[in-house]
Structure 1
Amino acid sequence: MLSTSPPWYTRLLPWRHASRRAAMHKARQDVAGLEPAVVITGGSRGIGLALARRFLEAGHKTAIVARNGVRLAEASAALKEETGADAVAILCDVSEANAIDVISAALARSGLYLDVLVNNAGLGLAGPFVEQSETELSALVALNIETVTRLTRAALPAMLARGQGGVLNIASLGASVPGPNQSAYYASKAYVVSLTEAIASEIAGQGVRMSALLPGPVNTSFHEEMGAERSLYRYVLPPMSPEGVARSAYRGFMWGNRVIVPGILNRFFYIALRFLPHVLTVPMMHWLLRRPHTLSGP
């Protein structure tokens, strides 16, 4: 369970402090008899699976959500074998409008409630923007932007009422700069970071963590599936392991960091991408995100 005390300035307004404490007590009574859980979307592989392992190792009740039943069952069994703890497996397409209801119902059946939401499920697209179909782009926007927004909006009110919990949104180091040849993906992750930092400011001091994770390249199948396996950045930038990313993410989230960038080299790039002008960084990214077949001259 993640909890913090009410902000110091509420002590200057004792009647408001008392009212908030009463509301908080009622909200916590609503989940009496249930245990807090970490819910990780896209938790059957990659960073999501590594995060599930890390939270379980730290003693948190954890649920993984995925839409592929076979992969979900395999991940749940692997987590049990590796950590000795049971992860609740929830079969659900998080892009569906009723996803939060499906997740909440599954948690309740296991004696749990949503305390920490990890929005990890995402989709990437590589290649020139005009070569990506409307269907592909719509799916990316639906999962990377609409789903993250909808799940975060659905989860936050109860967390704020209880004065505890948190949301960890998985973004990308690419959120810091436009990404030619991965334009929609980079733009979607920039949205996630902007949304996260803005909400974090709005809810500051209310006991709820709000963080964005910005990993660089990670050694998973994600790059291949999005069509970027042969992009130049895959040969230039050393990837981190999912486990290394998960360790940094867990530590930064527990510390309450709004933006978490795992890896020393990635933090250097993060600072450079934020403060160097786009006239320098965008051409560099254009080169890094190119795939070899696009480099042939006339």
Structure 2
Amino acid sequence: MQKRTAPWYARLWPWHTPADDAAVRRALQDVSGLEPAVVVTGGSRGIGLAIARRFLQAGHQTAIVARNAVRLEEAVAELKASTGADAIAILCDVTEPSAYDVIATALNRNGLYLDILVNNAGTGLAGPFATHSEADLFRLVALNVATTTRLTREALPAMLERQRGGILNVASLGASVPGPNQAAYYASKSYVVSLTEAIASENAGQGVRIAALLPGPVTTAFHEEMGAEQSLYRYLLPPMSAESVANSAYRWFMFGNRVIVPGIFNVFFFVALKILPHALTVPLIYWLLRKPDALNRS
């Protein structure tokens, strides 16, 4: 049977409700014979793939979730080549209501249970809000907001019962300010950060790490796919590698930070966005998120 991992100082938290030791033992008994696993949604490429690699390098059993079978297979092979460890591939569309059950079943087949959930799957939209189709907007909300909310809600109770585990929700530095020309994307990530910080506060001292990751620009295909590759911020703000973001995410998540901002420059930008009034920051972000051809027409 696995031992409780809630630290001794958890009981000193001012509003911590002492755990029922018998209930914790029963919850751990339910997963006896199974190994804890890290599950990374959107784990077949970009930041998700890099985070999966970092957990594998640290010795965690790790599963990656994606809906593209070919890309998923390639990612597993890449992880094996770079780490020497086998990642579990879970083919699943996480926007489906049954996604959590699909993930749990796949883990159980491999002798695992969900211990740490990384909600990384997400999408973006660039350009004026009024130009986006209703289908694209609702797809963004379904993936960035609804899916993160649902998977977090479904995973958290069992973690609290066991008094161990964690949830890492991948947001964006853009969550700190309204984002003209990426309005829905910035708003969705603001929701993720607010939700995560609130849940972390509600469950402080319960042995479960809950954190939001706020990366700035990263050298992945994400910006190009959302139609933002030519936006001014891509030329002016220094990007980080996905590996650097993953290393920072792993380090500070294991340390227990609730909000993780990778990179010194991004930390400075994050603090500035918190301090400066929107009257200054929103026009700046509007300018940074515009495309050069839009400036030429203005």
SS at match of 1:295: helix
Q: Does 1:3 align with 2:5?
A: yes
Two-structure CA RMSD over aligned residues (Å): 1.8
Paired positions, count: 295
The code of the aligned residue for 1:88 comes to: I
CA distance in 2, matches of 1:282, 1:103: 39
SS at match of 2:38: strand
Partner of 1:133: 133
TM-score, length-scaled by structure 2: 0.96
CA distance in 2, matches of 1:23, 1:206: 13
Partner of 2:194: 194
Cα deviation 1:241-281 (Å, max 9, x = unaligned): 00000000000100110000000000000000111000000
Partner of 2:225: 225
CA distance in 2, matches of 1:177, 1:84: 41
TM-aligned CA deviation for residue 297 of structure 1: 3.8
Aligned pairs for 1:254-265 (under 5 A) are 254-265=254-265
Partner of 2:97: 97
CA distance in 2, matches of 1:283, 1:64: 38
Partner of 1:55: 55
Partner of 1:168: 168
Aligned pairs for 1:2-81 (under 5 A) are 3-5=5-7, 7-9=10-12, 17=18, 20-81=20-81
Cα deviation 1:24-82 (Å, max 9, x = unaligned): 00000000000000000000000000000000000000000000000000000110111
Partner of 2:143: 143
CA distance in 1, matches of 2:12, 2:228: 49
Partner of 1:208: 208
Runs of 4+ residues deviating >4 angstroms: none
TM-aligned CA deviation for residue 292 of structure 1: 1.1
TM-aligned CA deviation for residue 217 of structure 1: 0.0
The code of the aligned residue for 2:293 comes to: H
CA distance in 2, matches of 1:97, 1:297: 44
SS at match of 2:121: coil
CA distance in 2, matches of 1:4, 1:218: 34
Unaligned runs of 5+ in 1: none
Cα deviation 1:95-135 (Å, max 9, x = unaligned): 00000000000000000000000000001000000000000
CA distance in 1, matches of 2:95, 2:75: 21
CA distance in 1, matches of 2:12, 2:22: 17
Partner of 2:84: 84
Cα deviation 1:150-197 (Å, max 9, x = unaligned): 000000000000000000000000000000000000000000000000
The code of the aligned residue for 1:122 comes to: G
CA distance in 1, matches of 2:107, 2:201: 29
Unaligned runs of 5+ in 2: none
The code of the aligned residue for 2:87 comes to: A
Identity of aligned residues (%): 70
SS at match of 1:180: coil
